[in-house]
Structure 1
Amino acid sequence: MSSSTTSRFASIWDSISFGYQSPHEMSNFEDLTQPNYEIQLLREEIERMKAFQKAETEKQSASSKLPAHSPLPSPSPSPNYDEVLERLERLELQLTSCCKKNTNLTQIIESEVKHIVDSKLSHFQTKYDHQLELEIDKAKTAMLELVREQATNYSLNKPSGAFDAADVETMIRNAITKYDADKTGEADYALESSGAWIINTRCSETYEVFSATYKLFGLTLWKSKTTPRTVIQSGVVPGECWCFKGSEGRIGIHLAARIIPTSFSYEHIPVSISRDGHIQSAPANFAVYGLNAEDDVEPALLGEYRYQIGENDQPLQRFEVSKTVTALQTFKYVELVVKSNHGHPEYTCLYRFRVHGKPVFDEEV
């Protein structure tokens, strides 16, 4: 889009949106209204000419009836027909010019709007096609891993080479069922849509890394920001994570129900779909604590773990509660404490964190 066309379109957009007309547009408006004013004057002039002609006819009729010795009335000045014709020609030229200007302006607006809309649609189509491909690849990888897991389980119970078609079908069906069950086959009591929410992040400061900006005609309409809530929402998409400054951070979660925690799951994006070609910002060493209140000053340690990002490590990793002393206690809150990352010097990013366990109702406590 050329700069002159952009400025022209911007001024038109301003006049439409905010009722403001630039000097350039005002001159165009005057060009369009001037011929109409001239036409009105011309119509009045024609009416005067008709009246003049009628008066002249009446005078001639009256003079023919006068006696021969009566003096003839002095003739009225005749209208200037050449001037009227000249004005008509001038008006025709102005109207033709204005119509051409108006048509050209409309064509420019339609062309620019079509170009902008097509560009935006193409951008969104490419973006969502890419996201769909990523989701399909992730689903394939997860399904293959689950099928291998089912095959391993069957191999423990059957002699080598004894698999048949029914066994393979059963393995695939079980793998699909487990994948549909949030990839874990277990309830996630930290899931926001199930009733959990973030209570605090202590002193952890949000670090804005991925910020999608949506613009129209150069104006920023909306800028997306990720929050700690992303950690307990379903789905793992590149960029949809919560990042905090440095390599140490905390996040407290109010669980969807009081539970006896049994395990935790953390899922990060694989390095294959990272825009940077690495996942150094992934958490490395971390611990999980159980709390009885939001401001619990003596939280119970449930376990200390390390998230691995090796070539053979899966994006979704499970961690069992390792502290037997607190294994049978019930908790309504948990706190995830990240102690290090995999080498990023500026920030650490958290994707999906799950909490599994056995729900305990009030009468059982």
Structure 2
Amino acid sequence: MRRSTPSRLCVRDPFEQNGFIRNLFCSFVCVTLTLILGLQMYAYVWGPAQVALDGDLSDISHVVLQLTHGLTEVNRKHERLQNEMQRISSSLPAMAAAADRARDALEPAMRRSSGALGTVDYDRQMTDYALESAGAKILDTGNTVEHVINESPVTWVLHLLTSMMCSECLGARAIIRPESLPGECWAFKGSRGEVTIRLLGTVRVTGVSMEHIPRQIAPTREISSAPRLFQLEGLEYKRDPYPHDLGTFEYDREGKPIQYFEVKNANVKGFNVIRLRVHSNWGHPVYTCVYRVRIHGELAARSTANDDSDSRVENE
């Protein structure tokens, strides 16, 4: 029984060692917590102003940092904008040069187009004394036979009746009206014809303009029906047996649609009746088309002789 006692003493030693370590750890934790609590109390009781100041300084530092970042970003964008502006500025001369080259390339075509068609402002540049709306009038077409497309017997009969009843020749009135669309012309059979026009007054004729549509807008893309050689005569009255020859001219079908010709034998006293004689066309075998005739010059001073001349024209 005495031999069991030492064994019990040997069993107690480990438990006593574990308790010592546990107590030591607890003491360390308590001391540490006490120090932390003391520091917190010190900061709360004796250091609130410093803590608040540190917080304010921290906030200010944060704001300054944010502003610095924003300013840096603005500077970066400003540099990019400057670089872009420099790139655009450097490319402007090249763009201007390209625009000049494009304009130079287009202007000849525009000049050719305006020169080929050039009808928009023509009537505003030169006075036309043969314009119907200003007082001019078709008096006669002589033996000229108007060309009409007879689609039916009724059309032929109506045209015949109109020609017999109308002495002013409705077809020939197209040449003293401003319209010049394809088909709006005076078309007569063959290549020879004539028309007598009373001007809006006694005119010292200095020039004549002949108009035909350009090839570009002709439905058949050819203008062989355009007049070629034509003559202009000045008359004292409608059936004057001694007309004054103002000249013979040639219309160029490869030229401008409106072609101006100066008279070759001007007369200072002037005429109030003009006769246009077409002697040939550019090869069309059936008919000739005259789109517009303009008479240019200046009005002569009216006199008794001119008044008598006007009355003679009316009587004719």
TM range (shorter): 0.5 to 0.7
**Residue number among 263, 268, 283 corresponding to 1:343 in the alignment:** 283
- Spell out structure 1 runs of 4+ moving beyond 2 A: 140-146, 178-181
Alignment of structure 1 residues 76-225 onto 2, 5 Å: 144-145=114-115, 179-180=120-121, 182=123, 185-209=125-149
Shift of 1:360: 1.1
* Structure 2 SS opposite 1:304: strand
Query: Which one-letter code corresponds to 2:238 in the other structure?
Result: E
Seen in structure 2, the aligned counterparts of structure 1 residues 281 and 226 have a Cα distance that, compared at 3 Å, is: farther
CA distance in 2, matches of 1:319, 1:362: 26
Counterpart for residue 81 of structure 2 = none
TM-score, length basis structure 2: 0.52
TM-score, length basis structure 1: 0.46
CA distance in 1, matches of 2:146, 2:229: 19
* Structure 2 SS opposite 1:362: coil
* Aligned residues with identical type, % of pairs: 37
* Structure 2 SS opposite 1:257: strand
Query: Which one-letter code corresponds to 1:180 in the other structure?
Result: D
* Deviations, residues 204-242 of structure 1 (Å, cap 9, x unaligned): 01001499xxxxxxxxxxxxx961100100021000011
- 1:143/1:179 contact within 8 Å kept: no
Counterpart for residue 267 of structure 2 = 327
CA distance in 2, matches of 1:141, 1:210: 41
Counterpart for residue 359 of structure 1 = 299
Counterpart for residue 105 of structure 1 = none
Counterpart for residue 74 of structure 2 = none
Between the two proteins, the alignment pairs up a number of residues equal to: 179
Counterpart for residue 260 of structure 2 = 318
* Deviations, residues 137-192 of structure 1 (Å, cap 9, x unaligned): xxx7787339xxxxxxxxxxxxxxxxxxxxxxxxxxxx9xx943516x11100000
- 1:208/1:226 contact within 8 Å kept: no
* Structure 1 SS opposite 2:123: coil
* Deviations, residues 106-144 of structure 1 (Å, cap 9, x unaligned): xxxxxxxxxxxxxxxxxxxxxxxxxxxxxxxxxx77873
Shift of 1:355: 0.1
Counterpart for residue 220 of structure 1 = none
* Structure 1 SS opposite 2:130: coil
1:234 aligns with 2:178: yes
1:294 aligns with 2:234: no
Residue segments in structure 2 that go unaligned for 5+ positions in a row = 1-109, 152-168, 307-316
Counterpart for residue 47 of structure 1 = none
* Deviations, residues 64-92 of structure 1 (Å, cap 9, x unaligned): xxxxxxxxxxxxxxxxxxxxxxxxxxxxx
Alpha-carbon RMSD across the aligned residues, in angstroms, is 2.7
CA distance in 2, matches of 1:210, 1:261: 38
Which of the pair has more CA radius of gyration? 2
- 2:235/2:273 contact within 8 Å kept: yes
Higher relative contact order (CA 8 A, sep 6+): 2
- 2:226/2:290 contact within 8 Å kept: yes
More helix by share: 2
Seen in structure 2, the aligned counterparts of structure 1 residues 276 and 179 have a Cα distance that, compared at 3 Å, is: closer
CA distance in 2, matches of 1:239, 1:245: 15
CA distance in 2, matches of 1:186, 1:179: 12
- 1:209/1:243 contact within 8 Å kept: no
1:276 aligns with 2:220: yes
Counterpart for residue 38 of structure 1 = none
Counterpart for residue 89 of structure 1 = none
Counterpart for residue 229 of structure 2 = 285
Query: Which one-letter code corresponds to 2:300 in the other structure?
Result: V
- 2:201/2:299 contact within 8 Å kept: yes
Counterpart for residue 307 of structure 1 = 251
